[in-house]
């Protein structure tokens, strides 16, 4: 069943024009700005992508920025490009829109067609202006991201807006043709994620990666987005490390992305120094993020072959007694016990959360999450300005009168009410500056502690 599912996924997702699924990997010193709406603003996909680079390419330092604003359409993104995107001095800019652009009406028949047509035309009119603006910056690489889908097919207590996702696909198709014309990168998350939803709904009609509102991908969906992006960058198959040892001839016969030294082998014991070039990718198992109840990042493993394609840290030993049990120790700490037959097939250490390298990667995951949390406070501040204050002609007016006005407005606007506590702090520049310093400090710490270190591995016949 698992093999059938992956075959189905590959058929649905990757039989697309090759150019549409090719994104250049990020390079040293890239500054990547992810521009979008609430799916970017409150989502994790960009932080999951960054965590992959932090763990797999520890010497390739990049910086990733969240430039999402909840509720935005392409016109609003256009209006803030200079101050919210280009101001970050990016070398790479991604752009995703379409969810809000197509509206949340539910017209019927011909009225639906004309309503969506007008919404699409308005969105693409602003996109043409964004295109012109982006073309003025040839030094910046551009990546068009077709929006994750609006899930019309999941069956639960939320009546779907029929035709909305079809309208979004028309925007996606324009993004793709624009990318091809300008030699920009493009990835279609919409069709890829829809294929996964539809396949899961065959056995669970209520399944969705888009949460209870059919819009916002839950954390498993955000991880699927990161997986699709990394795969489009051609990074699948790059192992954390791969070691093959032949105990019969007492030799290491293969090393990939690692170095093995000081090898000692006898009939019952193997010992060596192990220095990998990468760390395993840690996946958070705590439900959080969009949706109630939330879902965890790790739940995405039920939907995508991330482990098989991106998280392989293999130690394989041939020539051990097939039915005998052998312990695996790292730095004199017992990790697990397997049979000689298991070792012959290969052990994926990336799945072992008690190894020292996985614990190192887990620390990186938590630090990166803390960085994301602080950045989200700043995004809430900018949401208040761009979504609420700018239309009133009060952009970046943080006066006491503005705060008083917002406190009154919060009584009739839920989103303003929940964001106001953050705004009350962030309106003070020294607070924002301190938050940014914390982000910079955490980023420096990520790249200080993400370097793999030497470990001593011992594989020994288990004592009876």
* pLDDT digits 0-9 by tens, 225-261: 999 999 999 999 999 999 999 999 999 999 999 999 9
* Beta carbons within 8 Å of 107's beta carbon, 6+ residues apart: 115
Give the gyration radius of the chain's Cα atoms.
Answer: 25
Helix (H) or strand (E) holding 380: helix 356-383
Q: In angstroms, rounded to a whole number, what is the distance separating the alpha carbons of residues 283 and 13?
A: 23
Cβ atoms of 350 and 240 closer than 8 Å: yes
* Beta carbons within 8 Å of 181's beta carbon, 6+ residues apart: none
Count how many residues are written for the chain.
464
User: Confidence band (pLDDT; 50, 70, 90) for 148?
Assistant: very high
Q: Facing residues of 347 across strands?
A: 315
* Beta carbons within 8 Å of 109's beta carbon, 6+ residues apart: none
Predicted confidence (pLDDT) at residue 5 exceeds the cutoff of 50: no
How far CA 420 is from CA of 254, 372, 377, in Å, comes to 57, 19, 11
* Beta carbons within 8 Å of 20's beta carbon, 6+ residues apart: 176, 186, 187, 188
Give me 430's structure tokens.
């020294």
Q: Facing residues of 314 across strands?
A: 242, 348
Q: In angstroms, rounded to a whole number, what is the distance separating the alpha carbons of residues 426 and 378?
A: 7
Predicted confidence (pLDDT) at residue 458 exceeds the cutoff of 70: yes
Strands ordered across the beta sheet of 185-188 = 63-68, 31-36, 92-95, 141-146, 185-188
Half-sphere exposure of 304 (CA within 13 A, CB side): 29
pLDDT at 110 (0 to 100): 83
Instruction: Give counts: helices (H), strands (E), the chain.
Output: 14, 14
Predicted confidence (pLDDT) at residue 293 exceeds the cutoff of 70: no
Q: In angstroms, rounded to a whole number, what is the distance separating the alpha carbons of residues 223 and 51?
A: 11
Predicted confidence (pLDDT) at residue 380 exceeds the cutoff of 90: yes
Predicted confidence (pLDDT) at residue 306 exceeds the cutoff of 70: yes
pLDDT (mean) for 403-430? 97
Q: In angstroms, rounded to a whole number, what is the distance separating the alpha carbons of residues 253 and 455?
A: 19
Residue among 106, 108, 137, 103 nearest 118 (CA): 103
Q: In angstroms, rounded to a whole number, what is the distance separating the alpha carbons of residues 161 and 174?
A: 22
Predicted confidence (pLDDT) at residue 19 exceeds the cutoff of 80: no
Burial class (CB in 10 A: 0-12, 13-18, 19+), 8: middle
pLDDT at 400 (0 to 100): 97
First to last CA, the chain: 38
Predicted confidence (pLDDT) at residue 84 exceeds the cutoff of 60: yes
Q: What is the DSSP letter of 127?
A: H
Q: What is the DSSP letter of 342?
A: H
Using DSSP's 3-state secondary structure scheme, residue 320 falls into coil
Q: In angstroms, rounded to a whole number, what is the distance separating the alpha carbons of residues 267 and 247?
A: 8
Predicted confidence (pLDDT) at residue 21 exceeds the cutoff of 50: no
Predicted confidence (pLDDT) at residue 378 exceeds the cutoff of 70: yes
Give me 314's structure tokens.
């293999």
User: Confidence band (pLDDT; 50, 70, 90) for 290?
Assistant: confident
Give me 410's structure tokens.
């919060």
Average pLDDT score over the chain: 94
pLDDT at 291 (0 to 100): 64
SS3 per-residue string spanning 394-436: CCCCCCHHHHHHHHHHCCCCHHHHHHHHHHHHHCCHHHHHHHH
Residue among 218, 99, 229 nearest 169 (CA): 99
Q: In angstroms, rounded to a whole number, what is the distance separating the alpha carbons of residues 52 and 364?
A: 10
Q: In angstroms, rounded to a whole number, what is the distance separating the alpha carbons of residues 286 and 38?
A: 21
How far CA 354 is from CA of 170, 280, 307, 437, in Å, comes to 47, 12, 17, 33
User: In the chain, what are the domains?
Assistant: 2-232 (3.40.50.1110), 241-358+451-461 (2.60.40), 361-449 (no CATH)
Using DSSP's 3-state secondary structure scheme, residue 28 falls into coil
* Beta carbons within 8 Å of 277's beta carbon, 6+ residues apart: 58, 241, 257, 258, 452
């Amino acid at each position: 069943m698992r093999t059938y599912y992956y075959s189905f996924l590959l058929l649905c997702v990757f039989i697309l024009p090759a150019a549409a699924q090719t994104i250049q990997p990020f390079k040293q010193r890239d500054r990547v700005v992810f521009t979008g709406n609430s799916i970017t603003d409150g989502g994790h996909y960009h932080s999951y992508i960054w965590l992959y680079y932090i763990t797999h390419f520890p010497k390739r330092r990049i910086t990733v920025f969240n430039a999402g604003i909840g509720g935005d359409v392409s016109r609003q993104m256009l209006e803030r490009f200079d101050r919210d995107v280009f101001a970050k001095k990016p070398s790479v800019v991604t752009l995703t829109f379409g969810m809000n652009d197509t509206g949340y009406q539910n017209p019927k028949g011909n009225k639906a067609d004309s309503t969506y047509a007008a919404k699409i035309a308005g969105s693409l009119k602003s996109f043409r202006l964004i295109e012109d603006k982006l073309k003025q910056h040839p030094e910046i690489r551009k990546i068009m991201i077709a929006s994750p889908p609006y899930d019309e097919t999941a069956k639960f207590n939320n009546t779907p807006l029929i035709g909305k996702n079809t309208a979004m696909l028309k925007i996606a198709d324009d993004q793709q043709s624009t990318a091809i014309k300008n030699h920009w990168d493009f990835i279609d998350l919409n069709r890829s994620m829809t294929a996964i939803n539809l396949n899961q709904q065959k056995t669970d009609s209520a399944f969705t990666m888009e949460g209870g509102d059919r819009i916002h991908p839950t954390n498993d969906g955000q991880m699927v987005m990161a997986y699709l992006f990394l795969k489009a960058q051609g990074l699948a198959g790059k192992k954390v490390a791969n070691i093959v040892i032949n105990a019969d001839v007492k030799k290491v016969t293969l090393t990939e992305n690692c170095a093995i030294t000081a090898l000692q082998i006898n009939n019952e014991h193997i010992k060596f120094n192990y220095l990998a070039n990468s760390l395993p990718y840690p996946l958070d198992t705590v439900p959080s993020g969009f949706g109630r109840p939330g879902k965890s990042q790790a739940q995405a493993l039920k939907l995508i072959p991330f482990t098989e394609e991106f998280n392989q840290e293999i130690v394989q030993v041939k020539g051990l007694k097939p039915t005998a049990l052998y312990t695996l120790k790292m730095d004199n700490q017992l990790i697990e016990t397997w049979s000689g037959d298991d070792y012959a097939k290969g052990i994926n250490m990336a799945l072992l959360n008690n190894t020292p390298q996985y614990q190192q990667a887990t620390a990186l995951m938590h630090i990166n999450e803390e960085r994301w949390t602080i950045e989200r406070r700043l995004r809430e501040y900018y949401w208040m300005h761009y979504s609420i204050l700018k239309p009133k002609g009060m952009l970046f007016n943080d006066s006491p009168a503005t705060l008083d006005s917002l406190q009154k407005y919060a009584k009739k606007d839920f989103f303003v009410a929940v964001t106001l506590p953050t705004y009350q702090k962030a309106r003070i520049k020294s607070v924002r500056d301190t938050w940014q310093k914390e982000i910079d400090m955490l980023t420096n710490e990520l790249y200080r502690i993400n370097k793999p270190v030497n470990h001593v591995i011992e594989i020994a016949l288990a004592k009876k």
